[in-house]
């Protein structure tokens, strides 16, 4: 049994929900932010969700304000922004911490099972963050907003992708397809 399913989360509407609800589905878990240079990825995430939800994919968005304060709003403001700007229909959750001593238990498990993210070949994002003094913590910490975890239908963390790896990329798509084919 996977530890992912043992974790409770809080929906963006404030309801406690067990991740066990998603047992048997392929999960894409993403820490998101509304005021980030990568925020446009919401559009790709929603398109992916719409095109693969019937195949067993669930995209789960977890707002986080730990990266340069790029998710300052309330849950209601975040939800309104995501729906109005990008038409987001995939499940969204309350703000959490993904790094540091108050790291949410979900991210404890995700990082333990996949300590390293597959990075984009050019490595520009990591270099930019380092140059601006925004890379903190260990190499296993979440680098920035929009880091992605793929969880197999049996609840095991199958892959982790750096924030600048888009869900439209071949590397991501190949991994997702292999998980959906097994689901």
CA geometry: angle 42, 166, 127, nearest 5 deg:
110
Question: Residue with structure tokens 């590397």?
Answer: 171
- Continuous segment of H or E residues that includes residue 105: helix 105-113
Contacts of 130 (CB under 8 A, 6+ apart): none
* The pairing of beta strand 57-63 with beta strand 26-32: parallel
The answer to whether 82 is a known catalytic residue is no
Q: How far, in Å, CA of 65 to CA of 114, rounded?
A: 22
Residue tagged active-site, from 28, 36, 57, 111: 36
**Residues recognised as catalytic:** 36
């Amino acid at each position: 049994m996977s530890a992912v399913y043992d974790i409770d989360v809080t929906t963006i509407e404030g309801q406690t929900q067990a991740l066990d609800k998603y047992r048997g589905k392929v999960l894409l878990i993403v820490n998101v932010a509304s005021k980030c240079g990568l925020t446009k990825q919401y559009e790709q995430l929603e398109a992916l969700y719409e095109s693969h939800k019937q195949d067993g994919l669930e995209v789960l968005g977890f707002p986080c304000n730990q990266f340069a304060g790029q998710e300052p709003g309330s849950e209601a403001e975040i939800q309104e922004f995501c729906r109005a700007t990008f038409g987001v229909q995939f499940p969204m959750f309350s703000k959490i911490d993904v790094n540091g001593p108050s790291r949410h238990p979900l991210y404890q498990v995700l990082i333990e099972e996949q300590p390293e993210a597959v990075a984009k070949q050019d490595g520009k994002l990591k270099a930019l963050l380092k140059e601006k003094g925004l890379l903190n913590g260990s190499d296993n910490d979440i680098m920035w907003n929009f880091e992605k975890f793929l969880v197999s239908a049996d609840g095991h963390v199958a892959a982790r992708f750096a924030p600048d790896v888009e869900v439209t990329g071949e590397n991501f798509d190949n991994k997702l397809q292999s998980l959906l084919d097994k689901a």
